[in-house]
Amino acid sequence: MSHSIRHKAEALLRDDYPLEDLVKDKDLPKILHELRVHQIELELQNEELIRTQQELATAQKKYFDLYNFAPVGYFTLDRSGVILDLNLIGAEILGREKGRLVNKPMLPHLSPEARPVFFHHLDVVYDTETRQSCELSFKNLTGAKTYFLAESVVAQDSNGQSVCRMVMTDITWRKEAEKALRKGEERFRIALLNSPVFVTEQDQNLRYIWIHNSHRTFSTSDVIGKTDAVLFSDADATMLTNLKRQALETGQMVHREIKVTLNNEPRYYDLTIEPAYDGLGHQLSGVLCAYVDITHVKEVEDALRTSAEELKRSNAELEQFAYVASHDLQEPLRMISGYVQLLERRYKGQLDPDADEFIFYAVDGAKRMQSLIHDLLALSRIGRRERVVSEVNFNQLIEQVLINLQVTIEQSQAAVTYDPLPTLMVDPTQLTQLFQNLIGNAIKFCSDRLPEVYISARQQADHWLFSVRDNGIGIPPAQQDRIFMIFQRLHGRGEYPGTGIGLAICKKIVERHGGTIWVESQADQGSVFYFTIPQ
């Protein structure tokens, strides 16, 4: 295409080529062709423009959606923290309508502790013109706190002004999780601090990777990276390593009481070894051990055991002494009482009245001494003799007791009744004595009514509960514990005879059979003596 033809076509389009000249122009067809080409070019350009406009509209829509609905807050801020623009999520974060936030400061929405952080962040972003991030917290309308990660850059706005573009991502859940984790860790730390537990973690080769610091036996630097072989004696280390290997090999918890020597002193621990797993919980990574120091408990236990043994020994000694003393006293006493009774028989009424009185007291004293020694001997025999148990039918046993007490029963006109009783494995001699004492007392401590005694037995969870009920003088509640002690009597001998040993014997017999004895009573209302015999 020659230059002049394009030139003429352009002139024509500019209305600069008069029509009368054009029609005369020999290049007319070429000029018209040029005009057609030009028109096609224009149409193409037009289509391009429309497409670009459509693309722009689509991009704008995308941008709008992204800007407003991406789950992040977009803010444009000036250096003083005034919000120049924000997206809908940004408005949601601040809990206000967008229209009420534009051109207003961000400050009032921030929690007090986030305010200095925010302004410092803006300063650094503007000063360095580099991308910066910080964590900000907001108080929402319900008063709950929300946390955001703010990431900012400096950009130019359409007027060429520097503005801060800030993206805010909600990290509240992460913060809450961190808080919960910190709280859990804090609780764990405090619990450990105040507990006598020493906690350690060892890897698969049983090298220490962590110890709970408050324990003073080892410091962290003593222990980390080392094995039990470096810390304990050979024997202790072998014992500990074997237990820990067992936990590693079986994947099962191991729990033992152990004794180790530390600083030349024996120490006892209640040791729990738990297999430890990697973060995902799949792979065995070592062992976690909790050592509870029970040295003190062991010492107390030892002291208790020693003193219990001591007590048992001295008790046995005392019993032996009581037995020997009462046994050996019997002989001279028999002599004394034999001879004073002889004196009484031969010389009563032959000397002066004073002598008769003296002899009476001597005979009475000797008799009392005899029954005392008899009862003491009975008491000390219970502890000395091995219990010989056999199957005892209690109905027959009571029959025997009633025969033993026949004279007393007849003299007092007592009515003794009993329910059908069980058959149990007991020491028959001791149980006979027990019932004899209780029924004897029930008859002895009677009021002005004729004595009525009733014996019964009831089966309970793992024992039989026996009761001996009377209609006698009763026992005031305040005295009810005392009467089971040796020599404790509630009456003078003038009122009711006795040595004060009978119930002590009963208590000893019941306890030797693994049971307990007690009384329920009120003064003047009769008494019920209860005792249990395990099955």
Nearer to ligand ADP (CB atom), residue 311 or residue 450: 450
Edge-first strand order for the sheet with 197-203 is 208-211, 197-203, 284-293, 265-277, 254-262
Return the half-sphere exposure (C-beta side, CA atoms, 13 A cut-off) of residue 128. Answer: 12
Determine, following the binding rule CB under 6 A, whether residue 196 of this chain makes contact with ligand ADP: no
CA angle 426, 471, 415 (to 5 degrees): 70
Q: Which of 210, 489, 512, 518 binds ligand ADP (CB under 6 A)?
A: 489
Nearer to ligand ADP (CB atom), residue 337 or residue 441: 441
Which residues, other chains included, contact 335 with Cβ-Cβ below 8 Å and sequence gap of 6+?
none
Determine, following the binding rule CB under 6 A, whether residue 377 of this chain makes contact with ligand ADP: no
List phi, psi (to 5°) of 284: -65, 125
Determine, following the binding rule CB under 6 A, whether residue 498 of this chain makes contact with ligand ADP: yes
Q: What Rg, from alpha-carbon coordinates, does the chain have?
A: 54
Q: How far is the CB of 444 from ligand ADP (least distance, A)?
A: 6
Segment near ligand ADP (CB under 6 A); pick from 251-259, 268-276, 295-303, 493-501:
493-501
- State which of positions 464-483 bind ligand ADP (CB under 6 A): 470, 472-473, 475, 483
Rounded CA separation 126/107 (Å)? 18
Burial (CB < 10 A; 0-12, 13-18, 19+), residue 428, is: middle
Q: How far is the CB of 469 from ligand ADP (least distance, A)?
A: 9
3-state SS string for 268-295 = EEEEEEEEEECCCCCCEEEEEEEEEECH
Rounded CA separation 300/310 (Å)? 15
Q: How far is the CB of 379 from ligand ADP (least distance, A)?
A: 10
Determine, following the binding rule CB under 6 A, whether residue 500 of this chain makes contact with ligand ADP: yes
Site residue total, ligand ADP (CB under 6 A): 21
Nearer to ligand ADP (CB atom), residue 237 or residue 490: 490
Q: How far is the CB of 527 from ligand ADP (least distance, A)?
A: 4
Q: How far is the CB of 490 from ligand ADP (least distance, A)?
A: 3
Q: How far is the CB of 374 from ligand ADP (least distance, A)?
A: 12
Rounded CA separation 446/470 (Å)? 8
Nearer to ligand ADP (CB atom), residue 248 or residue 414: 414
Nearest to 528 by CA among 434, 444, 442, 459: 442
Segment near ligand ADP (CB under 6 A); pick from 26-34, 76-84, 179-187, 486-494:
486-494
Nearer to ligand ADP (CB atom), residue 24 or residue 449: 449
Determine, following the binding rule CB under 6 A, whether residue 136 of this chain makes contact with ligand ADP: no
Nearer to ligand ADP (CB atom), residue 337 or residue 471: 471
Q: How far is the CB of 448 from ligand ADP (least distance, A)?
A: 14
Determine, following the binding rule CB under 6 A, whether residue 502 of this chain makes contact with ligand ADP: yes
Query: Largest alpha-carbon pair distance within the chain?
Result: 200
Nearer to ligand ADP (CB atom), residue 430 or residue 437: 437
Determine, following the binding rule CB under 6 A, whether residue 510 of this chain makes contact with ligand ADP: no
Determine, following the binding rule CB under 6 A, whether residue 387 of this chain makes contact with ligand ADP: no
Which residues, other chains included, contact 259 with Cβ-Cβ below 8 Å and sequence gap of 6+?
266, 267, 268, 269
Rounded CA separation 398/420 (Å)? 11
Q: How far is the CB of 446 from ligand ADP (least distance, A)?
A: 8
Nearer to ligand ADP (CB atom), residue 109 or residue 444: 444
Strands 452-459 and 517-521: unpaired
Q: How many residues does the chain have?
A: 535
Nearer to ligand ADP (CB atom), residue 228 or residue 375: 375
Q: Structure tokens of 98?
A: 């967008």
Q: Which of 132, 152, 432, 527 binds ligand ADP (CB under 6 A)?
A: 527
Segment near ligand ADP (CB under 6 A); pick from 117-125, 135-143, 354-362, 495-503:
495-503
Q: How far is the CB of 340 from ligand ADP (least distance, A)?
A: 23
Q: How far is the CB of 470 from ligand ADP (least distance, A)?
A: 5
Rounded CA separation 515/532 (Å)? 5
Determine, following the binding rule CB under 6 A, whether residue 491 of this chain makes contact with ligand ADP: yes
Q: How far is the CB of 505 from ligand ADP (least distance, A)?
A: 8
Question: What would the x/- binding string for ligand ADP be over residues 413 to 452, using CB under 6 A?
Answer: ------------------------x---xx--x-------
CA angle 402, 404, 406 (to 5 degrees): 65
Q: Structure tokens of 113?
A: 């502790």
Rounded CA separation 345/341 (Å)? 6
**201: enclosing H helix or E strand:** strand 197-203
- Residue 186 gets which letter from DSSP? H
Residue whose Cβ sits closest to ligand ADP: 498
Rounded CA separation 467/458 (Å)? 9
Rounded CA separation 426/437 (Å)? 17
Q: Which residues bind ligand ADP (CB under 6 A)?
A: 437, 441-442, 445, 470, 472-473, 475, 483, 488-491, 498-504, 527
